[in-house]
Amino acid sequence: MIWNEILCLGDSITTGARDRYKRCYPMELARLMTEKTGEFYFCHDHGVCGETSSDLLRRVWGAAKSHKDANIAIVMIGTNDTQINIPEHIYKDNLRQIISVLQLHGMKVVVATLPKLGFTPLYLNNIDKIEVYNSVIKDLCLEMGVEICEVTNTEKYYIDGVHYSHEGYNHLAKLFANKILSLNGD
């Protein structure tokens, strides 16, 4: 059997918070990739609710090392950074180190942009940070030769202004699958 592993790193959006079936985009991505390629895919869900880019940086080495057969890593982090107003330069350094660790472990890295936040009290004060962080993501990915997956305009799938419905996590999985499949054409 041919199998493939993908490492998915992030926060509650990665874990599938609020999905009515307790699923997440990594589960849906594995299913989609298996269907589209005829090969078995498994996505390791290393999302942790409430995490910031600083938190992810603390654990990325262990996550990458524990999944040494993963050839692709997806990073979607930064929503919780807006809540505590992490400065742009710190977010950028965290993301640079996260990407570097994954590359050192031989993984092709895909970084997701951050979707606009809906109305939610926890994020209201720093809602403009999403655009700032997305600018950092785009500049850094270009600089480091890393793929970007745009997840903008996915807000119609929100349940609570931050998290997605089951259909939303399926939509995210489709976006990631399309990006990964386009990499094979490189």
109: region left, alpha or beta (phi > 0 left; psi from -120 to 50 alpha): beta
Cβ atoms of residues 42 and 79 within 8 Å:
no
- What are the two backbone dihedrals, phi and then psi, of residue 94, each rounded to the nearest 5 degrees? -60, -50
Q: How confident is the model at residue 117 (pLDDT cuts 50, 70, 90)?
A: confident
Residue 128 is part of which domain span?
A: 3-183
CATH number where 65 lies: 3.40.50.1110
**Number of domains, the chain:** 1
C-alpha distance from residue 118 to each of 125, 152, 154, 162 (Å) = 12, 12, 11, 6
> Could you tell me the two tokens for 133?
């962080």
Beta strands in the chain (DSSP E): 3-10, 40-47, 70-76, 108-112, 147-149
pLDDT for residue 152 = 83
pLDDT at 1 over 50: no
45 within 8 A of 12, measured Cβ to Cβ: no
pLDDT digits (tens, 9 = 90+) for 53-84: 999 999 999 999 999 999 999 999 999 999 89
CA distance 14 to 90: 22
pTM, 2 dp: 0.94
On the question of pLDDT at 50 being above 60, the answer is yes
Instruction: Report whether pLDDT(186) > 70.
Output: no
How far is the CA of 107 from the CAs of 6, 74, 101, 145, 171, in angstroms? 9, 10, 9, 12, 24
